[in-house]
Amino acid sequence: MFTGVNSPPVTRNGVTYLATASLPTPRGTFQIAVARVDASGEQVLLLSLGDLSETEPPLIRLHSECLTGEVLGSLRCDCGDQLASALTAIAEAGRGVLIYLYQEGRGIGLVNKIRAYALQDDGMDTVDANLALGLPVDSRTYGAAAAVLRSLGVERVRLLTNNPAKCEGLACYDIEIIERVPLKVAGTPFNLAYLRTKAERMGHLLDLDVPASQRLGRNRRGKPQAK
């Protein structure tokens, strides 16, 4: 399907596959590829598993970059856990694609994301912090993901997400969402306020239960501490 190291890039339906290899992970061996959407020049990373040409719609995850959560282990968000859970779900399904989009901070970029963090340190939530910076709450688009899916021959999907807006955003590009599959990630004392903001102000469908063993108590100075 994709190009190898000694082969020229392969273009399908306006998407050029620049490089590919196998990627063994704790969840299974995926095929990793870097693709370029030729109309926009946008590059995306994708991890695929199984035969996507089968009639049954595959499990698809559109995952936006989060360096702080995925690489540095930040406890402010659930992005690292979402990435791991999505790959696990695709591996268990036996076929599917994770499309990794370079849309850090819901599209505002790393510098602005850290600036928003500083405002959150002073008490704002993630929505108000973006607005205070004069930035949109969520500026992500899914045209590149839709183009990649069509290049793979996939136009009907089971979308792995808790965000109905992501379903709507992908459907705008004529990808049919057969099913929204919840992405279950446990909350922690450190990201519970963030998750509540996503649920209450951004429409994400979340179960916000935190295990009793992880709930925050108060230390002698009144600061939160994990139990």
**Is position 207 annotated as part of the catalytic site?**
no
Which of 140, 207, 209, 221 is catalytic? The answer is 140
Residue 99 CA, chain-centre distance (Å), reads 8
Three-class secondary structure of residue 159 per DSSP: strand
Residue 79 near residue 168, CB atoms below 8 Å: no
- What backbone phi and psi angles, to 5 degrees, belong to 181? -100, 120
d(CA 135, CA 104): 13
Q: How far is CA 25 from CA 21, 31, 91, 93, 99, in A?
A: 13, 10, 10, 16, 16
Which of 81, 115, 138, 158 is catalytic? The answer is 138
Q: Any idea what DSSP says for residue 106? A: G
**Is position 140 annotated as part of the catalytic site?**
yes
**Which sequence positions are flagged as catalytic?**
138, 140
